[in-house]
Structure 1
């Protein structure tokens, strides 16, 4: 009998990891799923504290949740962790520094892998190095499953499925608010570190992107951008201003659209992404 946990959250003490726990607990409460899960990280004390903190926040006893000690600088410990899970949710960034060892271990142990990276170079590097190995193992290596991706490509797919015709273009307008399990700030030190590390590979990433786009069929038509800080009334929010947002999530959407265009001759959907602001001062908050 397979004694593996269904899901292990690696990096559970970080901003993203501890935000994940209440939702994972809620998912596991569904009697139809019988989901088992655990958490992983470097410090036993910190992992115990984060379970206690999560227990207080959601009003449930999480003291029995399994804890696995694993450190991205110790590949053997990572391998021992991935052996104990059917799927790893990797919340330990920056991924260019800490991510590859987890991907590699997941492939070795036949464990599905999901992360929340927004580091384009890391995603492309992992695909190039491990795509065929993952296929041979029959596992999924899924990057970009964080907030941005779920707020962009998933809605585009849903809209395409519901749209009564051929979908030409999509404009995405994102607004933010404090949720039930909010951690307060909308930005955190982990995201900042990831952004700094990712910037070191931007030149290589964009050069690879230029070469890829140059050798590919050009996608048409193109949707025009709206001007920064202009008001928009057509979506029923007249008091907001918009800011064009060059997020890596749009590049992921474009990669998906290019794949379908080049492999099944499906017309590509053009996508633009904007953030809604109360004023330009909102950027500084």
Structure 2
């Protein structure tokens, strides 16, 4: 573990530790600190608006993990996104800020700004492409000048997809040209679910999709070259022979994040870019009809302010119980797991990529526990530990990056394998 500098007492500060996701990040950091105690202690603190609520989270973690010292030994820092001075004070005390305060389109920028101005690295778990891409556009140069890393989407969105593509490239013997991923979730008898903070992010993301297209024009990117055959186009709904169920395009940040990583690797590392399409399995015909009805209502309602208000007020009703203000129960989380399977094609070693069709295939997989509140904290914390331990393997000594761009030369995949997010090569069906 990296040494804490004299003027920064903490390696990690969890901001928003009393939120629904933040409480699980607290527990993951506590477990990680216990692991590291023999090789250099991980010093950490929690931060948020309410000292009382933060104290309650620490007591809860102490009880769940049988670590009574957490409720007395872990420092509490009071900080609020609406108070710039408090954010600065928080950032000056830590090397890495784990920002768990969302929706990030409303609350993320002040934290990024405070981290850069006060020399703290920033990691978040945003799945909001507009926020992530705007931070890169507006803060990359500033972060680079300050030697600060801002690394977004370090949770389920989008470490499994982004690092999964890199893993597939590393395992492929030749030039990988195109990948399709299929995400599926397996739940127990009580089903699964998510907290309404994720639901709220989706509401605003869909209602504001036009502005994302305008934002992307400001980058002025030139199109990346297409190596090999173009990835095949799928319909908006189709039956997937690969996963034996109906599937739809994945609506999260994965395609955006992977594309940004591939652009970085092409422009900075001279790697051949990979085309990427992401899909999610929805199940059988009944599940498809249910999803279609819910999706149609959602699509119509997000267009109007009253509709958005109703969606936020009654998440469980409009999402058919998938999201709620209380979030999933511990039993639901324990019984849930995810799988992301990657089907890739390309040219074998020695094959001329300018002639003929791709002649080789590969299938890889990333699996893990419940994605939102088990795998996400694990991914976020391992990203932070990797940043602390392997900072010299990260690019350019600062800037705003995707996980794949930031960690492509680190041991993050190995660390994830050791913390419940497993990467493997599978036989191609």
Shorter-chain TM-score above 0.5: yes
Structure 1 residue 129 and structure 2 residue 138: aligned?
A: yes
Task: Provide the residue aligned with 1:26 in structure 2.
Answer: 31
| Distance apart, 1:203 and its partner CA | 1.7
Measure, in 2, the Cα distance between the counterparts of 1:174 and 1:199.
20
| Distance apart, 1:225 and its partner CA | 3.5
Task: Provide the residue aligned with 2:156 in structure 1.
Answer: 147
Runs ≥4 residues deviating over 6 A = none
Aligned counterparts, 1:75-224, within 5 A: 75-177=84-186, 185-199=192-206, 201-210=208-217, 212=219, 216-220=222-226, 221-224=229-232
Question: Structure 1 residues 245 and 255, CA, compared in 2 at 3 Å: closer, same or farther?
Answer: same
| Distance apart, 1:198 and its partner CA | 3.4
Secondary structure of the corresponding residue to residue 272 of structure 1: strand
Measure, in 1, the Cα distance between the counterparts of 2:146 and 2:268.
24
| Distance apart, 1:264 and its partner CA | 5.0
Secondary structure of the corresponding residue to residue 167 of structure 1: strand
| Distance apart, 1:210 and its partner CA | 5.0
Task: Provide the residue aligned with 2:280 in structure 1.
Answer: 275
| Distance apart, 1:125 and its partner CA | 2.0
Task: Provide the residue aligned with 2:9 in structure 1.
Answer: 4
Measure, in 1, the Cα distance between the counterparts of 2:246 and 2:40.
43
Measure, in 2, the Cα distance between the counterparts of 1:210 and 1:186.
35
Secondary structure of the corresponding residue to residue 20 of structure 1: helix
| Distance apart, 1:244 and its partner CA | 2.1
Q: What does the per-residue CA deviation read over 1:251-283, in whole Å, with 9 as the maximum and x for residues that have no partner?
A: 111122233334555321111212223335274
| Distance apart, 1:8 and its partner CA | 0.6
Task: Provide the residue aligned with 1:70 in structure 2.
Answer: 79
Question: Structure 1 residues 196 and 33, CA, compared in 2 at 3 Å: closer, same or farther?
Answer: farther
Are the aligned partners of 2:96 and 2:122 in contact in 1 as well (CA < 8 Å)? yes
Question: Structure 1 residues 99 and 186, CA, compared in 2 at 3 Å: closer, same or farther?
Answer: same
Measure, in 1, the Cα distance between the counterparts of 2:240 and 2:205.
32
Structure 1 residue 250 and structure 2 residue 255: aligned?
A: yes
Secondary structure of the corresponding residue to residue 38 of structure 1: strand
Secondary structure of the corresponding residue to residue 147 of structure 1: coil
Task: Provide the residue aligned with 1:51 in structure 2.
Answer: 58
> How many corresponding residue pairs?
276
Secondary structure of the corresponding residue to residue 86 of structure 2: helix
Question: Structure 1 residues 231 and 122, CA, compared in 2 at 3 Å: closer, same or farther?
Answer: closer
Higher relative contact order (CA 8 A, sep 6+): 2
Secondary structure of the corresponding residue to residue 174 of structure 2: coil
Moved more, 251-260 or 140-149: 251-260
Q: What does the per-residue CA deviation read over 1:96-145, in whole Å, with 9 as the maximum and x for residues that have no partner?
A: 21111111111121100001112222222222222112112111011111
Measure, in 1, the Cα distance between the counterparts of 2:128 and 2:134.
10
Moved more, 120-129 or 44-53: 120-129
When the two chains are superposed, the root-mean-square deviation of aligned CA atoms in Å is 2.3
Measure, in 1, the Cα distance between the counterparts of 2:65 and 2:280.
30
Are the aligned partners of 2:99 and 2:125 in contact in 1 as well (CA < 8 Å)? yes
Question: Structure 1 residues 225 and 21, CA, compared in 2 at 3 Å: closer, same or farther?
Answer: farther
TM-score (norm 2): 0.60
Task: Provide the residue aligned with 1:60 in structure 2.
Answer: 67
Are the aligned partners of 2:104 and 2:131 in contact in 1 as well (CA < 8 Å)? yes
TM-score (norm 1): 0.87
Query: Structure 2: where are the runs of 5+ without partners?
Result: 1-5, 292-319, 323-429
Measure, in 2, the Cα distance between the counterparts of 1:212 and 1:113.
22
Q: Identify, as 1 or 2, the structure richer in strand.
A: 2
Question: Structure 1 residues 158 and 206, CA, compared in 2 at 3 Å: closer, same or farther?
Answer: same
